Structure 1
Amino acid sequence: MAVDNLKNIDGTWYVRVAIPKDIRSHFGNRTEFIKSLKTGRKSEAMVLRTKDLHEFKNLISTARKKVVAEQELGVIAAQPVDVDFAVLMESLEEIKQRLAEQKGARRKAFEDSDYEDVQAVREIISHHHLLAQRAEEKEAVGEELHPAMASLLSDLNDFQAQPTKSFKKSEELLERLETTMQLGSFKGYAADGDEKHQVATLIAEPTKAVKKHPLNEKNFVEFHKYEVKRKVTLRSIDRHVNRLNMLKDFLNKQKFAMDYESTRVFLESLQCADKTKLQYLCSFNAFYKFMFNNVDFRQSYPINPFMNHAVNKVRRGARKEEV
């Protein structure tokens, strides 16, 4: 496959990305993603490919995580499987974070609707149907639900029979459902008692909300277009975006905001020379200058968090200084 992920078919340029063998089953056994860019000019195709290229690579990344977390949909793992425990814990943390964000969104919707809309109830109904179906399947083969699941199903039946459903009670029940059916499934992956204890501890810990930042695919795509208009080389732009993605992943994993201190810690985590760290800061500053055109961004980040970092810089004919 071409390095630039482009292919010309009958005079039209297409963007294409190969799908790794181990996850092709998630995409109907397709061997590649391919999409027409509807242009016959390669220079234009190089720009247009960016959005689809990021989308295809995100689909591949998401599919890889699903290989480890197939039980996310609520199916309790019957037998332990051989997976990397570090990856397992990372997937569990990601699901916990997503559930916490959904909980915050439900509370906001509840407040915005003058305390009438209870979105949790709709999610509970979906879980209830799944659990009831599982109970029927067990009964058909002469088996019974696990006592914890049976107790949960009984409480769900009582909840559904109530004429009015409070927000607090709905959230409490939904949290039990998520802990038992989605997070609880990870216990089946643990290979020994110590790993099971670690999984149980992580499930029980309150989830710390990830602080929002402007490092996201939408802004990266717009940044890419902006740099192209400035006639920056595509190679330099790709390096900028790759470095920004590294910072984004670091902030998300550590649950840090985008500020001076987080940037400092990120730079310290890099196993590279100061000269390379300066290149990272150059990429970050280019992104900051682009985003500063946005009013909301200027209000949230009036001070550039990528300036004045203690990285040694050597200029020809001058001594080392800190920048």
Structure 2
Amino acid sequence: MADHLVNQGGTWHVRLTVPKDIQPLLGKSILSRSMKTSSRIEAKNKSLRYLAIWKAQFEFYRSKKESFKDHPKEIAIERAIENEERYKENFKRIVNKDSHAHISESEYLNLVEYLVSQCEAGQISYETMFKAGQLLRDGVNLEAKARKEKRELTDSERLNIHEMQKQYNIILNLDKISSTFKQNEAEREEIQRIFREPEKYIKEPFSKKLILDYKNYISKRLKPKTADQQLSRLEKISSYFEKTKKEFNFRNVSNFIESVSDSISTKKQYLWAGNAFWAWAVKFDDKFEEKYSKIKNPFENHALPKRNKLNTNSYFEFSKNDLERIYIAAKNTDQNLADVIEIAAYTGCRIEEIGRLRNQDIVNIKSESPYIIIHESKTKSGEREIPINPKLIKTLIRLMSGRAKSEYLFSGGKNLYGNRFDYLSKRFGRLKTSLGFDKKYTFHSIRKTTATQLHQGGAFIGIIPYILGHKIGSITYDTYSAGPSLEQKKVAIAILDFEFI
């Protein structure tokens, strides 16, 4: 079975043994899937996908074994509901008096051998091995008795065997989880309730374990902040369905989207996160694909209202007088923030561009044509040279004084995503709010103020994007032109005039 294929009743199946060290996490010793074909060649081609997925899962579980210590409940719910589905199917076969619903002598011997191997490997206790083995033996004895008496099993005996099989799986899973995770008495009791009453625990598609798998996937493909935002939205979706116990369908996803925010943009972000997760899960998670691949994606085709074209601005600019008022308020309590506001107003720089300015980025400060070099920016267009307005020179000289060339002009923090000025951005937010400005005004509004002052002051419209670090939107300018000269930009920058006293 080098290719992991076995023929059962004329149909090929792919089977793969689960490594012993991760069997407790998967709750299985063997993975099996029907290829639904009698052709070995076709089955082999189909099996490659499943083998690749399973082996990738093995590697993931092995590398993340420690991280699963916080999710025994999730694993228990997943196994309990899987078991319950098998019990229901088994019960139907019992009602129909299907002989395949029972344990044959050979199957019993195989299961006993499995119990012994699990006990020897330390996955289950001797007591559990004995209890589980006794349940199997009792079931086999009932069937042997009926055969000896040359009669069919009674309905009562069939149900007894069914219940024995159910109890066998419960005590086996309970012991495996207990041997894998450190739990207190209350946690063990909850796990027992999950296995005994799984119908009370709705298993939504966004289980913590599956989200953990998804996190591992997107963390290598998205920026850290984008990945964290997407995962946060998925966890909120998961929490909603877990708390409300609602069925996972289009209508209830729509209800969630309506409840989460009035913002169209926010609603779209939740739908985008759900769509991305759904596409990944159907493609890469075997269980999810089996359960949901034939169900229409509930995150698609939600008719959200269109934005009012007359109100598409995400933020407003500060008037000249308003910005001067904010500067004065900052200077009274926070000189660093005041300096940053002044630099932003006279250059149009983003807050993080200012946060990454080093002494060496201020060029020829005492000459007639000093300028700032922006090396690190949000976009390629943002890497630029900006002439220094004469009113800004005194502040820059003070900031440069006593600093080595490679030092930053401002001391900065470093948040989870590497932003040096996250703390100053929050200070600015608190300051402008205290002065009566709502969420439509942000630090980024200063860039709009600078652009507006340049435009209304008579600066050539084609130069303003080069000062702010924007693309022009023309192949001629963006691809072939080197842009305006420093002297041309210097004329425009000289227009800016704020009363920062």
Alignment TM-score, normalising by the size of structure 2:
0.31
Q: Which structure has the greater CA radius of gyration?
A: 2
Greater relative contact order structure (CA < 8 Å, 6+ sep): 1
Alignment TM-score, normalising by the size of structure 1:
0.44
